[in-house]
Homo-oligomer: A and B are copies of this chain.
Amino acid sequence: MPLTPSPRSVFGARLRLARLAAGLPQDKLGVKAGLDEGTASARISRYESGIHEPSISFAHRLADELGVPAPYFYAADDELAKLILWFGQLNTQQRKSLLEFASHIKSSS
């Protein structure tokens, strides 16, 4: 996925990836997130293409509908994006050990 540097296009590309992974068409995602049926598809399309950007709270609603942590949309770095996605899929105990491991690595530097 050739990420262009603009933060807004990063957002659009991540949104699109998460939507496709969830198997949702643009209109369905938009309606699930609370948009009118008539404008849902166009609005989501403009977010994905970077023409517009949603408010922070609407971005969180999209993230909730797609089952990804909202920060994922804003991660330009692919490794960080993957880490955020995976964090969202771990249970409480796994998250705890991931944090412990990260803390251990950080303090060893």
**Which positions 53-102 of chain A face chain B at CB distance < 8 Å?**
53, 55-57, 59-60, 69-77, 79-80, 82-84, 86-91, 94-99, 101-102
Interface size of A by Cβ–Cβ distance < 8 Å? 42
**Which positions 7-28 of chain A face chain B at CB distance < 8 Å?**
7-8, 11
| B90 adjacent to A98 (CB under 8 Å) | no
Contact of A69 among B80, B91, B99, B106 (CB under 8 A): B80
Q: Name A's interface SS.
A: helix
**Interface residue A103 (Cβ < 8 Å from any Cβ of B):** yes
| B106 adjacent to A90 (CB under 8 Å) | yes
**Interface residue A1 (Cβ < 8 Å from any Cβ of B):** no
